Structure 1
Amino acid sequence: MLLLASASPARLRLLELAQIPHRVRVSGVDESSIENHDPALLVQQLALAKATAVSDGIDADISSVLGCDSLLLFEGEVFGKPQDGEEAAARWRRMAGGSGELLTGHALLVRSGENRLACISTRVHFAAITEEEIQAYVTTGEPLHCAGGFALEGRGASLIAGLEGCYSNVIGLSLPWLRSVLRDSKMDQSASG
């Protein structure tokens, strides 16, 4: 069984859709305490901190702990969750018609000790939307809960013109990556056991 170190309903939903048995334990990690100038390393460090924070005292049926963290890299600037509606609207004015890289750090701590870290990147092409559309979206409150200020699994889906890369990664968890590392860790466990 997998332990997800996340409060994200979107990540939880992805695991449910993929039928991966799991439990959830929120890490409570202070993300502002972790800094790195390299966005790819930053999301991995944050993911590892979250997974590590919940890994002590886990039940015997938990074979792996998964931590994730996402951010948007747009024109060289790192966008996490917007602080408020004003910041979300300002970002959308910049992003409309442009493209950015959604980076998700993944940290899988496996009981056998075969830990895996990865940063998965997906290129996101934003639709050229109007000020009225920006205001309507920001008013929903949805952008305030998501890295980059949009939710592909929500109302923000209609504001995305296209993707290059992993769809589920943009939602917060690369299911192809997770499937692969879980499969590999099961093979490692059966080979050593």
Structure 2
Amino acid sequence: MDLILASASPRRSELLDQIGVSYRCEPADIDESRRDGEKPGDYVLRMAREKAAAVAARHGGEQIAVLAADTSVVIDEDVLGKPADRFEGLGMLARLSGRSHSVLTGLCLHTPEGGSEGELVETRVEFIQLSREMCEAYLATDEPWDKAGGYGIQGLAGAFVSSIEGSYSNVVGLPLAQTWRLLSARGIAGALEVKSE
């Protein structure tokens, strides 16, 4: 069965490549607004389901599977999206400085036979204390601007992380263990497929 990754994220593509899965990318392009009073976990799961459904609807009748994910950085029940400007980026880094936060990813796999199956993955990340100068230097790079919470753990901001509890790949944008489990349960295992004798 062909697999579509409902994302334009280069990081998600790199992670899926890492486990040897064949796929093509097709962004969902949906409204990603959070509803009033919607809990962060409910929000990312809804986004993943809606992304998968939107792409699957374009391919009605075809034997394709659609994998979708949505990742948010959460602190004090507030969802931190991608910073719009330097001021917002500074505010995000100041909130994360010296504290622990959650990275939540909603994951959804849609197949014609099995419908949609979703999963919520949480990773706890703790930052060191960041000085204003460190934040300014980081925001002067290209790295923070297209990332939830205004940082990329796989890049320079890896130096900000004092501890991590849970999936590292989840913080990058796609929890690999959970993704592989969802895919292999539907017969889409890629390079990790176990051949029967």
Q: Normalising by structure 1, report the TM-score.
A: 0.89
Which stretches of structure 1, 4 residues or longer, exceed 2 Å deviation after superposition? 33-36, 56-63
- Given that 1:85 and 1:144 are in contact with CA atoms closer than 8 Å, whether structure 2 keeps it comes out as no
- Given that 2:49 and 2:116 are in contact with CA atoms closer than 8 Å, whether structure 1 keeps it comes out as no
Report whether the alignment pairs 1:32 with 2:53: no
| Number of the residue aligned with 1:129 | 130
Worse-matched range after superposition: 5-14 or 56-65 = 56-65
- Offset at residue 148 of structure 1 (A): 1.2
- Given that 1:85 and 1:141 are in contact with CA atoms closer than 8 Å, whether structure 2 keeps it comes out as no
Worse-matched range after superposition: 38-47 or 58-67 = 58-67
| Number of the residue aligned with 2:194 | none
| Number of the residue aligned with 1:56 | 57
Higher RCO (Cα < 8 Å, 6 or more apart): 2
| Number of the residue aligned with 2:10 | 9
- Offset at residue 11 of structure 1 (A): 0.3
Quote the Cα distance in structure 2 between the aligned partners of 1:35 and 1:109. 27
- Offset at residue 58 of structure 1 (A): 3.2
- Given that 1:10 and 1:153 are in contact with CA atoms closer than 8 Å, whether structure 2 keeps it comes out as no
String of CA shifts for 1:91-127, please: whole Å, max 9, x gaps. 1112111110000011110221242111100001112
Report whether the alignment pairs 1:146 with 2:154: no
* Equivalent residue runs for 1:1-193 within 5 Å: 1-32=2-33, 37-58=38-59, 63-186=64-187
Report the 3-state secondary structure (helix = DSSP H, G, I; strand = E; otherwise coil) of the residue aligned with 1:115: strand
String of CA shifts for 1:155-190, please: whole Å, max 9, x gaps. 221221121001111111111001111121229xxx
Quote the Cα distance in structure 2 between the aligned partners of 1:119 and 1:33. 17
Q: Normalising by structure 2, report the TM-score.
A: 0.87
Quote the Cα distance in structure 2 between the aligned partners of 1:62 and 1:90. 45
- Given that 1:43 and 1:69 are in contact with CA atoms closer than 8 Å, whether structure 2 keeps it comes out as yes
Report the 3-state secondary structure (helix = DSSP H, G, I; strand = E; otherwise coil) of the residue aligned with 2:33: helix
Report the 3-state secondary structure (helix = DSSP H, G, I; strand = E; otherwise coil) of the residue aligned with 1:100: strand
Quote the Cα distance in structure 2 between the aligned partners of 1:77 and 1:56. 31
RMSD: 2.0
Report the 3-state secondary structure (helix = DSSP H, G, I; strand = E; otherwise coil) of the residue aligned with 1:133: helix
| Number of the residue aligned with 1:190 | none
Quote the Cα distance in structure 2 between the aligned partners of 1:174 and 1:41. 17
Same amino acid, percent of matched pairs: 33
Letter in 2 for 1:168: S
Worse-matched range after superposition: 69-78 or 19-28 = 69-78
- Given that 1:2 and 1:62 are in contact with CA atoms closer than 8 Å, whether structure 2 keeps it comes out as no
Unpaired segments of 5 or more residues in structure 1?
188-193
Counting matched residue pairs gives 187
Distance 1:174 1:127, change over 3 A: same
